[in-house]
């Protein structure tokens, strides 16, 4: 997020949405920390409202990441179908899209609190997410898996389109080819992020779907913590993917880290003049 703010090369809709995806990853970390401090022996005194908050934060973080990836897919479709690096979205429209993403995320995280729960029908409760209705888990997981499928289809279609366009370009126009291949670099970054997202989140969503279908032979309780850790590992992987796939992002982040380390070393390094005066007074 700091790299997008400080470097003017990143002041485009795609990077604003990428920074918003990083904010969703940061929000997922906050949600997991809140979960850790409300699990185990502490959970014996956990109230219903705090339980809803604990689960709602995780649901909102996933929804924010998923909705943001959908918006990025729309932005990439708008730009790459015209063979441009960036779309013509204005800052006002990008801001409205970001606000819409978080509004949807907060709403989806608050749906069980608003009434779609099993407090009045304990037999319909889920085992992985108590107080949540199994019907809500089915709706939530199916909608997320459907969004995964739609995004994969869209990106595969865009990838094939760009690859076909770049192959038919004349080899004599090298400068034009280099400019036209710039969108492909961003596409590879987005597809890597999407691939990591699908791989990390699909096992957990499938486990929730099986629990919603009341599959008692699936033993989802034994794998729920590992699937949750795998899902949150995705938030750690994304910054690595950004810096590895984008050279400008890598150089910007490296400069920021180097400047921060140099400033800290300068503050720790003692001045020579005071030390010399102190040694003379001791003598």
Q: Report helix, strand or coil for 201.
A: helix
**Predicted local distance difference test score (pLDDT) of residue 128:** 80
**Predicted local distance difference test score (pLDDT) of residue 51:** 84
What is the overall mean pLDDT for the chain?
Answer: 78
Burial 107-126 (b: 16+ CB within 10 A, else e): ebbebbbeeebbeeeeeeeb
Does the pLDDT of residue 86 top 70, yes or no?
no
% of the chain beyond a pLDDT of 70 = 79
C-alpha pair distances (Å), 139 with each of 114, 145, 198, 213, 242? 16, 10, 18, 11, 32
> What structural domains does the chain harbor?
1-258 (1.20.1070.10)
% of the chain beyond a pLDDT of 90 = 5
- Alpha-carbon Rg for the chain, nearest whole angstrom, is 24
Does the pLDDT of residue 279 top 50, yes or no?
no
Lowest-pLDDT range of 4-8, 44-48, 167-171, 227-231: 167-171
DSSP state of 86: S
The string of pLDDT tens digits covering residues 96-149 is 999 999 999 999 889 988 888 888 888 888 888 778 888 888 888 888 888 888
- The answer to whether 112 touches 52, Cβ cutoff 8 Å, is yes
pLDDT band at 181 (very low <50, low <70, confident <90, very high): low
Residue predicted with more confidence, 237 or 283: 237
Does the pLDDT of residue 274 top 70, yes or no?
no
Could you tell me how far CA 257 lies from the centroid of its own chain? 22
CB atoms within 10 A of CB 87: 20
pLDDT band at 276 (very low <50, low <70, confident <90, very high): very low
- The answer to whether 144 touches 61, Cβ cutoff 8 Å, is no
What lies within 8 Å, CB to CB, of 163 at 6+ separation is 184
């Amino acid at each position: 997020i700091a790299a997008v703010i400080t470097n003017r090369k990143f002041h485009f809709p795609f990077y604003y949405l990428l920074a918003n995806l990083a904010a969703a990853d940061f929000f997922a970390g906050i949600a997991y920390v809140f979960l850790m401090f409300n699990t185990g022996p502490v959970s014996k005194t956990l109230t219903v409202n705090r339980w809803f908050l604990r689960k709602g934060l995780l649901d909102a973080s996933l929804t924010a990441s998923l909705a943001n990836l959908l918006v990025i897919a729309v932005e990439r479709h708008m730009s790459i179908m015209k063979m441009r690096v960036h779309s013509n979205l204005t800052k006002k429209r990008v801001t409205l899209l970001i606000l819409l993403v978080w509004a949807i995320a907060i709403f989806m995280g608050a749906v069980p609190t608003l009434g779609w729960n099993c407090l009045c029908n304990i037999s319909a409760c889920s085992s992985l997410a108590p107080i949540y209705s199994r019907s809500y888990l089915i709706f939530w997981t199916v909608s997320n898996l459907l969004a995964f499928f739609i995004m994969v289809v869209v990106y595969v279609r865009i990838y094939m389109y760009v690859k076909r366009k770049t192959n038919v370009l004349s080899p004599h126009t090298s400068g034009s080819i280099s400019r036209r291949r710039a969108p492909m670099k961003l596409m590879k970054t987005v597809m890597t992020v999407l691939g990591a997202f699908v791989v990390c989140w699909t096992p957990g969503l499938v486990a929730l779907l099986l629990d919603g279908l009341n599959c008692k032979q699936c033993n989802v309780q034994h794998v729920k913590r590992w699937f949750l850790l795998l899902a949150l590992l995705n938030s750690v992987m994304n910054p690595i993917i950004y810096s590895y796939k984008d050279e400008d992002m890598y150089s910007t982040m490296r400069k920021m880290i180097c400047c921060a380390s140099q400033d800290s070393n300068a503050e720790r390094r003692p001045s020579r003049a005071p030390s010399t005066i102190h040694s003379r007074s001791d003598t």
